[in-house]
Structure 1
Amino acid sequence: MASLGEPTLQQAQAHPQQQALFCPLALLPDGWQRNVLLRWDDTGRLIEVSAGSSCGTARQAAGPVIAGMPNLHSHAFQRAMAGLTEVMGSPSDSFWSWRKLMYRFAQRLQPEHLEAIARHLYIEMLKAGYTSVCEFHYLHHAPGGLPYADRAELALRLMQAAADVGIGMTLLPVLYQYGGFGGQPSSGEQARFISSPDELLALRERLLQALPENPMRRYGVAPHSLRAVSPQGLEELVIGLRRQRGGHDAPVHIHIAEQWREIQDCLAWCGQRPVQLLLSLQEVDGRWCLIHATHMDQAEYQALAASGAVVGLCPTTEANLGDGIIDAGQLLHSRTPWGIGSDSHIAINPRSELRLLEYGQRLHHRRRNVLASEAAPATADRLFIQAVAGGAAACGRAVAGLAVGQQADFVILDGDDVNLADRSPAQLLSALVFCEHDGQPIRDVHVGGRRVVSAGQHPLQDQARRAYRDTMADLLKE
Structure 2
Amino acid sequence: MSAAVNHAHGAGRANRWWAPHAWLDGRWQDDVLLVSDSGGRWATVQAGVPCPLDAQRLAGPVLPGLVNAHSHAFQRAFAGLSERREHAGDDFWGWRDRMYRVAGAVTPDDVQAIAAHLYRELLAGGYTQVCEFHYLQHQPDGTPYADPLAMGHALKAAAEAVGIGLTLLPVLYERAGFTQPALREDQRRFHLDADGVWAAHRTLAAQSHATFNAGVAVHSLRAAAPASVHRLAQLARGMDGPVHIHVAEQTAEVEDCLTATGRRPIEWLAAEGLLDPRWQLVHATHTVPAEIEAVARAGSAAVICPSTEANLGDGLADLPGWLDAGVGLAIGSDSHVTRSWTEELRWMEYGQRLLHRQRNMAAAPHQGQPATAARLWQLALDTGGRAAGQAVWGLRVGARADLLVIDTADAALVGVPGEHRLDALVFSSPGRPWRDVMVAGRWVGEADTAGRFADVMQRLWSSPSGGQDRVR
* TM-score under structure 2 length normalisation: 0.93
Counterpart mapping for 1:323-362 below 5 A: 323-362=314-353
Q: Which residue of 1 aligns with 2:230?
A: 235
Alignment of 1:185 with 2:170, yes or no, is no
1:145 pairs with one of 122, 142, 146:
142
Cα distance between partner residues in 2 of 1:136 and 1:43: 26
Alignment of 1:300 with 2:300, yes or no, is no
Q: Which residue of 1 aligns with 2:459?
A: 474
Q: Is the 8 A contact 2:204 2:213 kept in 1?
A: no
Shift of residue 92, structure 1, vs aligned partner: 2.6
Alignment of 1:35 with 2:31, yes or no, is yes
Q: Which residue of 2 aligns with 1:7?
A: none
1:234-256 CA distances to partner (integer Å, 9 max, x unpaired)? Answer: 111121223xxxx5222100000
Alignment of 1:108 with 2:105, yes or no, is yes
The one-letter code sitting in structure 2 at the alignment partner of 1:166 is: G
Aligned to 2:267, the other structure's residue is in SS state: helix
Q: Compared with structure 1, are the counterparts of its residues 314 and 369 closer, same or farther at alpha carbon in structure 2 (3 Å cutoff)?
A: same
Cα distance between partner residues in 2 of 1:421 and 1:408: 28
Cα distance between partner residues in 1 of 2:415 and 2:384: 30
Q: Which residue of 1 aligns with 2:306?
A: 315
Q: Is the 8 A contact 1:215 1:397 kept in 2?
A: no
Counterpart mapping for 1:264-275 below 5 A: 264-275=255-266
Shift of residue 319, structure 1, vs aligned partner: 0.2
Q: Which residue of 1 aligns with 2:439?
A: 447
Alignment of 1:388 with 2:381, yes or no, is yes
Counterpart mapping for 1:14-413 below 5 A: 17-57=13-53, 58-209=55-206, 212-242=207-237, 248-374=239-365, 375-398=368-391, 400-413=393-406
Cα distance between partner residues in 2 of 1:257 and 1:272: 12
Q: Which residue of 1 aligns with 2:468?
A: none
Q: Is the 8 A contact 1:16 1:450 kept in 2?
A: no
Cα distance between partner residues in 2 of 1:411 and 1:100: 38
Shift of residue 185, structure 1, vs aligned partner: 2.6
Shift of residue 408, structure 1, vs aligned partner: 1.1
Q: Compared with structure 1, are the counterparts of its residues 63 and 237 closer, same or farther at alpha carbon in structure 2 (3 Å cutoff)?
A: same
The one-letter code sitting in structure 2 at the alignment partner of 1:30 is: G
The one-letter code sitting in structure 1 at the alignment partner of 2:90 is: D
Runs of 4+ in structure 1 deviating by more than 4 angstroms, as ranges, are 13-16
Aligned to 1:191, the other structure's residue is in SS state: helix
Shift of residue 91, structure 1, vs aligned partner: 2.2
Q: Is the 8 A contact 2:19 2:33 kept in 1?
A: yes
Shift of residue 15, structure 1, vs aligned partner: 10
Q: Is the 8 A contact 2:40 2:440 kept in 1?
A: yes
Q: Is the 8 A contact 2:64 2:394 kept in 1?
A: yes
Cα distance between partner residues in 1 of 2:231 and 2:264: 22
1:141-165 CA distances to partner (integer Å, 9 max, x unpaired)? Answer: 0011111011000100000111111
Cα distance between partner residues in 2 of 1:288 and 1:208: 18
Q: Is the 8 A contact 1:111 1:154 kept in 2?
A: yes
1:89-127 CA distances to partner (integer Å, 9 max, x unpaired)? Answer: 432311011110111111110111000000010000011
Shift of residue 298, structure 1, vs aligned partner: 1.1
1:295-315 CA distances to partner (integer Å, 9 max, x unpaired)? Answer: 111101111111111100000
Q: Is the 8 A contact 1:389 1:401 kept in 2?
A: yes
Shift of residue 41, structure 1, vs aligned partner: 0.4
Q: Which residue of 1 aligns with 2:467?
A: none
Cα-Cα RMSD = 1.6
Cα distance between partner residues in 1 of 2:336 and 2:12: 32
Cα distance between partner residues in 2 of 1:190 and 1:339: 28
Q: Is the 8 A contact 1:358 1:370 kept in 2?
A: yes
Shift of residue 398, structure 1, vs aligned partner: 4.3
Aligned to 2:236, the other structure's residue is in SS state: helix
Cα distance between partner residues in 1 of 2:77 and 2:273: 35
Aligned to 1:393, the other structure's residue is in SS state: helix
Cα distance between partner residues in 2 of 1:361 and 1:92: 25
Cα distance between partner residues in 1 of 2:205 and 2:63: 32
Q: Which residue of 1 aligns with 2:418?
A: 425
Q: Compared with structure 1, are the counterparts of its residues 17 and 51 closer, same or farther at alpha carbon in structure 2 (3 Å cutoff)?
A: closer
The one-letter code sitting in structure 2 at the alignment partner of 1:113 is: D
Cα distance between partner residues in 2 of 1:421 and 1:430: 13
The one-letter code sitting in structure 2 at the alignment partner of 1:471 is: V
Q: Compared with structure 1, are the counterparts of its residues 97 and 315 closer, same or farther at alpha carbon in structure 2 (3 Å cutoff)?
A: same
1:256-283 CA distances to partner (integer Å, 9 max, x unpaired)? Answer: 0000111111111111100001112233
Q: Is the 8 A contact 2:112 2:158 kept in 1?
A: yes
- The farther-off stretch of 295-304 and 175-184 is 175-184
Q: Compared with structure 1, are the counterparts of its residues 420 and 399 closer, same or farther at alpha carbon in structure 2 (3 Å cutoff)?
A: farther
Percent sequence identity over aligned pairs: 45
- The farther-off stretch of 23-32 and 71-80 is 23-32
Q: Compared with structure 1, are the counterparts of its residues 377 and 127 closer, same or farther at alpha carbon in structure 2 (3 Å cutoff)?
A: same
* TM-score under structure 1 length normalisation: 0.92
Instruction: Tell me the number of residue pairs that the alignment of Structure 1 and Structure 2 aligns.
Output: 453
Unaligned runs of 5+ in 1: 1-9
Q: Which residue of 2 aligns with 1:3?
A: none
The one-letter code sitting in structure 2 at the alignment partner of 1:228 is: A
Cα distance between partner residues in 1 of 2:28 and 2:40: 22
Q: Compared with structure 1, are the counterparts of its residues 136 and 16 closer, same or farther at alpha carbon in structure 2 (3 Å cutoff)?
A: farther
Unaligned runs of 5+ in 2: 1-5, 464-472
Cα distance between partner residues in 2 of 1:84 and 1:400: 35
Aligned to 2:266, the other structure's residue is in SS state: helix
Aligned to 2:21, the other structure's residue is in SS state: strand
1:341-364 CA distances to partner (integer Å, 9 max, x unpaired)? Answer: 000000000000000000000001
Q: Compared with structure 1, are the counterparts of its residues 15 and 192 closer, same or farther at alpha carbon in structure 2 (3 Å cutoff)?
A: farther
